[in-house]
Structure 1
């Protein structure tokens, strides 16, 4: 593993030389030797004061920071609002005692995106020192694993309609509340809420409309609660509310004020299918420890109080009642109290509709139809050398520079140009070898000419696996590089998929190419026959993600984002570059940048260009990488989704959050729709502007993500993506030809 170190100082020391920690006589070689003995996969080495002195390449890539930005810093640089304070304290205490720490922690990359790491920190005593001299840290990105566990946990412990904690979590919350309120100067109010007239909504408008009302009610409630209060769904239209930290000496006035504010939730109607619906609330409340010191008693007293409140005339009497005003008796109304150990009811779900694929067929870059040509015509054109090379840039999505140009083959035919999907199916192995050789020499000729003009770039060429069989390809490539005076590192070869090739027949030739210094990429990952097996078997340094994986990004955005994020993470884990192909518009490009894709390619940047046009394009093109603003609905969804899937709050203050600016400049109060397949529904998506703002504000809570508001915000953004892009679908080309093959 390569380690990045401080530059050598004038006296020959490397790094910090461990000065100030009692081991001046110990050289770096001994530190590194003992560190490697302590941990097989070093991410970071710090001195005794926990200042970073050495950083691995993998750690720098994982965090997005450059070497110079990390050296000399404390790893607390990576922590943020979602980092668990107890985990921080545990790390501090364990390391302070000279023990090894092992656990998980939520960190943040330089760009603000969250990631979970499995962390192991090993203290070291180098030389004869009796005090800890260094700490060796091993870290592994486990974001995908945590996201899966969070999803399962959310399903098990949260109501699937509202996203609120379910009956199981409610029971745990009451138990914690009882324990906290004992022997303290504050009391805790445990309340049970019943929604009046809600069954009428279900019976007249249907359960879908009822679910929409519940979702709107829940998110309004959350926006009216204080930090630390709890709202859970018990089932049906019954909810549990816990109000914490109420001063005992002013409990009556405090509770009255809080409940008056909470009742504002039902003062305004809810909107379903453009209909305004009004419901009411009844609430029964018990105090800990005044009305009981155990779960069962508290819930029984709250149930009695609720039953009393519901029997009263809502027009003339208060909507809530306290337990101390209700005589203690044995009531038959125990539905809210019973069954606390049971899991919440059935899970609602809806299957996604099947998308309709597009078959663009064979078309030129300008979209014109191809003429009729026989297979012999293609072969004859190749043999005569009628090969054209167009170049399409692959962009660095982190700094906006050109990473390399991909060389794409075309054939000159009488009166027109043929494109790869037209002629490749008609070529045998020898034809493909001739085509590859012609494209390779033209691409290297272009690089050499650019070098003479002072423009240094790299190029990639598509490699048909069939031509690897006889083992002569590495020598052919090496000679071409020598003839054009191009360093091997400036050439990449993209292995095309084939079901006719075996791993054994490819491996030796590819290893020889890698030993030559040429970069190897797995092309169109996700489209082929044994991509993952090849990926684990061959010496690839890059992965190109097939555009077909994102075909339905505008119909099912979160599914496409999940695929993209998973593959980007896989690239990090394998220490490979990841290229997202098919970036055709600003929306998908912004989403790829936000999710941390290092490289991208597509019509949003440039169509394939004639070689003589490339340098002019480089001088004129300006890619604005992710800054402080979000420009598209898909970008907004990607920003929130990447944090929500890890149960991480938004990392910056609400006023500085890029999603705040997006919501402030987006027309979220207008529009119509009949259905989106999202849980929130079009009414939530398009008619609840102020509520959308409140959903977002709750993502900045210091207590972590609010599941219900996070889900509703995701649903609203998903609908906004679909509606916005449907309106412009006629102007967007979802599939095209001309960017594949050799």
Structure 2
């Protein structure tokens, strides 16, 4: 619109001077002192200005007279981008007979911009017809700047709330939602804004959780104290429950009064589930899902404590499967695991609800019978044990094959047989071996008078302890050239240095380790000892002998064996080419489809492979040709009859020739007489070992052999 300056109306004339101040002059003096521009304009479409106060010059740099001389000056001072908006607003208020109220930008004479706020009031005549408008123009530049800064901070805070990865929740004192950011709405699975003003606890919590959570909130608000951390479940519309970890704070006003509650929350559902799964795995067997030895020991300790207080008895049943090794050997570990699952299922069905069934390891299970009457505890335990044997009586079908798997069960009673948990377990283990020696599929209660010392101390427990404490030691037997006696290799032979029995030969504990599943741990320790000694010879004396080490068929069937062997040798800096892995003929030949790939994987690590006890089984020449074998160790039964038995000598000569034809090295075992050695020389056997050529001994006893070989 157009604004122009005219002489003011009566009482507001700009140029008239009065000898005495009139009321109008007094009013003008007043308005010209306030920090705002005042004006008077006609109420017409052009809003013709009748008066503008001198403050206009401070505001825009032009005196009031300039606007009288140039009516267009007013809009020239309005910011070009705001002119249309201001004109439209003036026209709208004129046509609607409404006061003008607008904030817009203007330009000072020197070019700088400012923000002003203009507001007027409509003056009417006696009949109520609008005649004039009176208004003020105020510089609000600083106010606007502060408001913009606050808005920017508010928008920044809002953006943070929206992009925050955690839910942000603000509640008033009544628990109504004042703010929930986007992440919060995503967490509870509801549309944004749908919970604003609503009750938080009834809206998002499961009905069974709501009363307790509401009491928690009400108490926190009333007491002015809230835990900094808490957890709760929120329920999504589809019924899914999510666990949320909250960080909480109370909001207070300037007087310290609680005005509300603010919390940030993170969805920890998967984390809690993972933690629960880890806890479960730590306490349960991965194959059968039964409690493991760790959890069993905890329950055993608690059961004994309760029994002491109540004067009751406890029974421990130690169950070991009979002939389980046949399943593993014929069908492999996967089938063996499936059988264990079926066994566990049957045992669980026959156990009482109050009993605890656990897997002890390998094919061993433990059953804890608690809260027994001391007078009938033995009878109750035997009845339970026979019930478990009955559960195993029916055959099992695994991988299409039918197996009858029985069990030997040993029973130990508290307090009759033992005063504490460890002794109870040892005695149950010893009783189980009594059952095995009685013919298997039997039940025996611990009898100290019939238990051999080794049984009383529990062979299983003691052998595990021997492995953990490295009570196993290696003796070494030379493998030599039968012609010269020169050392060609050393075979590592394991011994158990038992504190009770002294030096125990492998025949007394290796088969037991294979039967109970301890062989993997025992074999891993033997490999460590072999690699350690081989590295020590090389680093200390420069000796680099080829070393033979025996591997159990169960170890060989472990898919991780080749990798474990490679890592062990690498860790000790041992060249794999100096290591010869010996496996029995029966283990190598009985299942070529499965064993063949395992041997090839083993050969890929760089080690050599030897077939031990060759000739004792029924080897197929075609199978032997297809296997990565480097050494044939001839079974000692052939050499035992040489030279008296021509047939044995002929077989021996044939095997030596076969090895040479296949580019393998033949080793004759069991050389005990000069005649046997001479026969081997005659037959051209390149390698031999036996008591005549060198007895097994500790590493220090091999030093002379190694020095001669190195010279």
Fold in common (TM above 0.5):
no
TM-score (norm 1): 0.32
TM-score (norm 2): 0.33
Bigger-Rg structure (1/2): 2
Larger RCO of the pair (alpha carbons < 8 Å, separation 6+) = 1
